[in-house]
Amino acid sequence: MLSEKMQNALNSQIKKEIYSSYLYMAMSMYFEVEDLSGAASWMRIQVLEELTHAEKFMNYVNERGGRVFLEALEKPAFSWETPLDAFSGALEHERFISASINELVSLAREEKDFMSDNFLQWFVAEQVEEEASVSEVIRMFKLAGGAGGGLLMIDRELGSRVFTPPAAE
């Protein structure tokens, strides 16, 4: 059984994961308006990943005899100056999520909740991949500068991303 403190912390993380999907959907809509359908598609795949993360957390809370409490979400930003700014915002957000996951691990260890610690290790590894993925897109945008041809090539590359659900546990 989860402690009340761990249950509350996990519920807070569920909200953050669902908010992440909301933020990335807003970014996807921004890219649609900017006629960058590949970047929009990349972000929609990110939406699915974040919802999958939220679902993993919800399932875990339920499996441990806890209770999931869904809370209201804040309105995300919906416009950025440039595509690079949007992805830079995504990286900042992923770093925030990484810090939040680290706090959960610390709490699990403080409470000697080894089951939660073990569960959270998947997310620790996932955040390395999340940050690296967004950083790679930022690198591409920086290399292209403002060149239209470079932007077109990046957009095509981003559009090739496919959603791969995590393996069943």
Question: To 10 degrees, what angle do helices 4-33 and 37-63 make?
Answer: 170
Position 147 scores a pLDDT of: 74
Q: Tens digit of pLDDT for each residue in 65-121?
A: 999 999 999 999 999 999 999 999 999 999 999 999 999 999 999 999 999 999 999
Position 164 scores a pLDDT of: 87
Gap between the Cα atoms of 157 and 164, Å rounded: 17
Nearest Cα residue to 14 out of 77, 65, 56, 64: 56
Residue 168 pLDDT > 70: no
Position 31 scores a pLDDT of: 97
Residue 169 pLDDT > 70: no
Average pLDDT over residues 14-33: 98
Instruction: Locate 81 and state its tokens.
Output: 């100056």
Q: Tens digit of pLDDT for each residue in 51-68?
A: 999 999 999 999 999 999
Sequential DSSP letters for 4-25: HHHHHHHHHHHHHHHHHHHHHH
Instruction: Locate 54 and state its tokens.
Output: 């939220």
Sequential DSSP letters for 52-96: HHHHHHHHHHHHTT------PPPPPP---SSHHHHHHHHHHHHHH
Position 167 scores a pLDDT of: 76
DSSP 165: P
Average pLDDT over residues 25-54: 97
Nearest Cα residue to 163 out of 2, 21, 58: 21
Model confidence, pTM? 0.94
Residue 42 pLDDT > 70: yes
CATH entry 1.20.1260.10 includes domain 4-70+81-159: yes
Position 165 scores a pLDDT of: 85
A 10 A CB-CB count for 115 gives 13
Residue 146 pLDDT > 90: no
Taking the mean position of all CA atoms in its chain, how far away is CA 92? 11
Phi-psi region of 74 (alpha: psi -120 to 50; beta: other; left: phi over 0): beta
**pLDDT averaged over the chain?**
96
Percent of the chain with pLDDT over 90: 91
The domains of the chain are located at 4-70+81-159
